[in-house]
């Protein structure tokens, strides 16, 4: 499985490496089994997260895609970074389980 992780987070420069690592952990920990059931061995798995920050908190969009499948989750006004990333992946996992 070839996984590409893309992080759009210009307002989170200090957290960029942490975000990337959390995404890797969530993909391998929460989604790996679901992806293996539906993706072919050579498929490219793309995980793209977009993050913005404003006065109310943070807004996040996560998209996981591979040939024939796209899953999306978004949340707003989260303050705690790790909880938010985990929460987004839980919603993607629920979509994949259906």
Q: 58-76: per-residue pLDDT in tens?
A: 788 999 999 999 999 999 8
Distance between CA atoms of 3 and 10, rounded to whole angstroms?
Answer: 22
Domain count, the chain: 1
Residues 6+ apart with CB under 8 A from 44: 2, 3, 4, 66, 67
Give the confidence band of 4 by pLDDT, cuts at 50, 70, 90: very high
The average pLDDT across 48-63 equals 86
Q: What is the pLDDT of residue 54?
A: 76
For residue 20, count other CB atoms closer than 10 A to its CB. Answer: 16
Q: Where are the beta strands (DSSP E) in 1-98?
A: 2-8, 44-54, 57-66, 69-78
CATH number of 10's domain? 3.30.160.100
Domain that holds residue 42: 2-97
Question: For the whole model, what pTM was predicted?
Answer: 0.88
The average pLDDT across 73-85 equals 85
């Amino acid at each position: 499985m070839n996984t590409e992780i893309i992080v759009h987070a210009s307002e989170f420069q200090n957290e960029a490496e942490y975000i990337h690592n959390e995404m890797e952990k969530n993909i391998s920990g929460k989604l790996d089994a679901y992806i293996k059931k539906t993706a072919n061995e050579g498929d490219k798995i793309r995980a793209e997260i977009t993050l913005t920050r404003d006065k109310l908190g943070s807004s996040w969009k996560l998209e996981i895609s591979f040939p024939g499948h796209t899953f999306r989750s978004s949340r707003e006004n989260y303050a705690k970074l790790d909880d938010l990333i985990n929460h987004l992946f839980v919603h993607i996992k629920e979509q994949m389980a259906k």
